[in-house]
């Protein structure tokens, strides 16, 4: 199914939705007729899945695509704020869904405008806004093979970028769930800023409400080089720790009561953990990465509620299909590929280990040793599985990431996130200060680890640009690993990783020209040298 989405991205034209739908119906009938055939059934099923993946972006293009402007201009625009992105300093980015009947006729078919506003009070989701703005085309990829805003923004309905020329006229939103959530997030932000100033508070805001705008570029770089960048984005790690903390508290708490042996304690604890995960998603800003992680965690907790095995590759597959049905183009983004590569590797290795019996030593120190060994193994497996994707998308590798994660992840799991959860729960009573202090202490430890590991790493974090063909080989290796249960399953990822390391590096370009020609660089003996550029441009 994911392969179908990838092939859709590669074809030069837009497929016909009617023909694609008819082919899906035909293949569905073939699958039904061949359901008892040992060869034809699986073959038709795989072809149907591929075609469904190929057709999903076509369907989403019809449902949420938009007209995109092809020339810049100035116009008065009005609409409803349906999304926002906090940015650094005095700038906020709003996503404005335009009203029908715009004064500028050339904007009639544009659904959403990405509007940048400076020196203006924060605007809430749901507000009605009118502003005179300079509009310009959605930019393409800066460099060949780079991130393509035109492609992804089209599916998000964004047809133009804009900058406000005058202060906007805003009518506040009517009360609703989004306004309540924004008020809660704003209140938490104020409490965090009051208790934890500087970089510590910026990281705390990122971990609690998903606002990463205050984190300095220096800290971001150090965290990435140390292999700790995943700590800054609310993902499966954070949701699992918070939901797991609630699961453990509820489960052991109920088990200690007289009613513990008369009720399904484990299922009740899973329901509480699921509710906590949804609440965390709500106050974190509900980014696509957090939604993706919540879906995956919901699959696991749902299995626990109904007494099924939680950690299976079938559950991973269900989560992937659910995400592709909701937003098929997520398959092409680094976040989807990194998270599913890690989860497939971890769950597959967990399945292999669970089939073997080990004699575990007992005692307190033995438990500590097992936790450390499990954490080390988890970091190694996830690091190996995601390294090719990080190298391809970011030209970056964290050679000392294992050391950094062994030092930092226990702090996140035992100190930072539990303290953050307790701070959020205590915030309505204004009792959050001691919990935020504990959280800040843990964050300072993590930043110190990132500082130390990044200083040891030096220039070893940089890797050359890698080939997409060999990254596809890594995906094939992961599929081999996921579909087989015999120990031969490890041969697939091992072969693909060796091939990626040996052959994936592309030759360095002699000349780089940005999409708008605002930056041109020529390779010399000591690296790239800018020969024509506007040094303030994003391309540089």
Q: What is the per-residue pLDDT across 116-167, written as a single tens digit (0 to 9) for each?
A: 998 888 887 888 899 999 999 998 888 777 889 999 999 999 999 999 999 9
Which pLDDT score is estimated for 179?
Answer: 73
Q: How far is CA 534 from the centre of its chain?
A: 32
Which pLDDT score is estimated for 135?
Answer: 94
- Which distant-in-sequence residues (6+ apart) come within 8 Å of 256 by Cβ? none
CB of 435 within 8 A of CB of 418? no
User: Chain-wide mean pLDDT for the chain?
Assistant: 86
* 466 DSSP β-pair partners: 505
Which pLDDT score is estimated for 396?
Answer: 83
Cα separation, 197 vs 207, in Å, equals 15
Averaged pLDDT, 492-517: 88
CB of 8 within 8 A of CB of 58? yes
H or E element in which residue 79 lies = strand 73-86
Which pLDDT score is estimated for 361?
Answer: 62
CB of 7 within 8 A of CB of 20? no
The band of 174, judged by pLDDT with boundaries at 50, 70 and 90, is low
Which pLDDT score is estimated for 209?
Answer: 86
Residue 184 backbone zone (phi > 0: left; psi -120 to 50: alpha; other: beta)? alpha
The residue among 526, 233, 224 whose CA lies nearest residue 391 is 224
Which pLDDT score is estimated for 362?
Answer: 66
Question: Could you tell me the pTM of the whole model?
Answer: 0.83
R_g of the chain, CA atoms, integer Å: 25
Where is average pLDDT lowest: 170-179, 204-213, 224-233, 261-270? 170-179
What are 301-359's pLDDT values in tens digits? 888 888 787 778 888 888 889 889 989 999 999 888 988 898 899 888 888 887 666 66
Which pLDDT score is estimated for 289?
Answer: 72
What are 220-262's pLDDT values in tens digits? 888 888 888 888 887 777 888 888 889 989 988 888 888 777 7
Residues of the chain with pLDDT > 90, as a percent, come to 32
The residue among 186, 127, 129, 204 whose CA lies nearest residue 438 is 204
* Nearest-5° Cα angle at 412, 410 to 413: 65
Residue 170 has pLDDT above 80, yes or no: yes
CB of 408 within 8 A of CB of 449? yes
The SS3 assignment for 128 reads: strand
What are phi and psi for residue 158, nearest 5 degrees? -90, 115
Cα separation, 528 vs 539, in Å, equals 14
Which pLDDT score is estimated for 224?
Answer: 86
The band of 35, judged by pLDDT with boundaries at 50, 70 and 90, is confident
Which pLDDT score is estimated for 286?
Answer: 74
The band of 300, judged by pLDDT with boundaries at 50, 70 and 90, is confident
* Tokens of residue 448, six digits: 């110190």
H or E element in which residue 169 lies = strand 169-171
Residue 494 has pLDDT above 90, yes or no: yes
């Amino acid at each position: 199914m994911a392969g179908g989405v990838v092939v859709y991205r590669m074809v030069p034209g837009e497929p016909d939705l009617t023909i694609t739908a008819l082919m899906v119906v035909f293949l569905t009938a073939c699958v039904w007729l061949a359901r008892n055939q040992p060869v034809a059934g699986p073959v038709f099923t795989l072809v149907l899945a591929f075609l469904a993946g190929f057709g999903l972006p076509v369907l989403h293009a019809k449902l949420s695509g938009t007209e995109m402007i092809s020339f810049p201009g100035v116009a008065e625009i009005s609409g409803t704020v349906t999304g926002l992105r906090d940015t650094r300093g005095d700038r906020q980015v709003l996503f404005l869904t335009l009203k029908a009947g715009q004064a500028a006729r050339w904007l009639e078919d544009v659904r959403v405008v990405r509007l940048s506003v400076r020196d203006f009070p924060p605007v809430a989701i749901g507000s009605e806004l009118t502003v005179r703005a300079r509009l310009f085309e959605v930019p393409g990829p800066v460099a060949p093979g780079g991130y393509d805003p035109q492609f992804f923004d089209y599916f998000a309905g964004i047809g133009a970028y804009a900058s406000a020329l005058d202060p906007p006229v805003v009518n506040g939103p009517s009360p609703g769930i989004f306004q309540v959530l924004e008020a809660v997030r704003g209140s938490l932000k104020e409490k965090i800023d009051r208790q934890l100033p500087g970089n510590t508070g910026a990281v705390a805001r990122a971990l609690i409400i998903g606002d990463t705008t205050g984190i300095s570029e220096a800290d971001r770089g150090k965290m990435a080089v140390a292999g700790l960048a995943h700590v800054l984005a609310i993902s499966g790690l954070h949701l699992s720790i918070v939901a797991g903390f609630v699961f453990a508290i509820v489960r052991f708490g109920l088990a200690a009561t007289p009613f513990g042996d008369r009720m399904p304690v484990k299922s009740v604890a899973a329901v509480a953990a699921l509710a906590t995960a949804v609440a965390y998603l709500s106050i974190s800003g509900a980014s696509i990465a957090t939604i993706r992680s919540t879906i995956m965690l919901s699959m696991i907790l749902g299995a626990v509620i109904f007494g099924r095995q939680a950690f299976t590759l079938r559950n991973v597959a269900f989560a992937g299909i659910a995400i592709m049905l909701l937003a098929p183009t997520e398959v092409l983004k680094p976040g989807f590929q990194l998270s599913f590569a890690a989860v497939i590797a971890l769950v597959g290795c967990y399945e292999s280990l669970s089939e073997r019996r080990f004699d575990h030593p007992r005692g307190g120190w033995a438990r500590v040793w097992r936790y450390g060994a499990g954490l080390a193994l988890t970091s190694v497996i996830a690091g190996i599985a995601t390294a090719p994707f990080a190298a391809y998308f970011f030209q970056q590798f964290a050679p000392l990431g294992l050391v950094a994660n062994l030092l930092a992840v226990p702090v996140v799991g035992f100190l930072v996130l539990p303290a953050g959860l307790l701070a959020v729960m205590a915030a309505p009573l204004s009792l959050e200060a001691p919990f935020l202090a504990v959280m800040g202490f843990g964050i300072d430890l993590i930043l110190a680890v990132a500082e130390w590991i990044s200083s040891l790493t030096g220039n070893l974090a940089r890797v050359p640009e890698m080939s997409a063909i060999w990254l596809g080989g890594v995906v094939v290796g992961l599929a081999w690993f996921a579909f087989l249960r015999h120990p031969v399953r490890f041969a697939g990822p091992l072969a693909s990783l060796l091939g990626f390391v040996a052959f994936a590096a592309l030759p360095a370009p002699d000349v780089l020209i940005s999409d708008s020609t605002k930056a041109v660089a020529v390779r010399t003996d000591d690296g790239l040298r800018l020969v024509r550029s506007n040094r303030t441009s994003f391309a540089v």
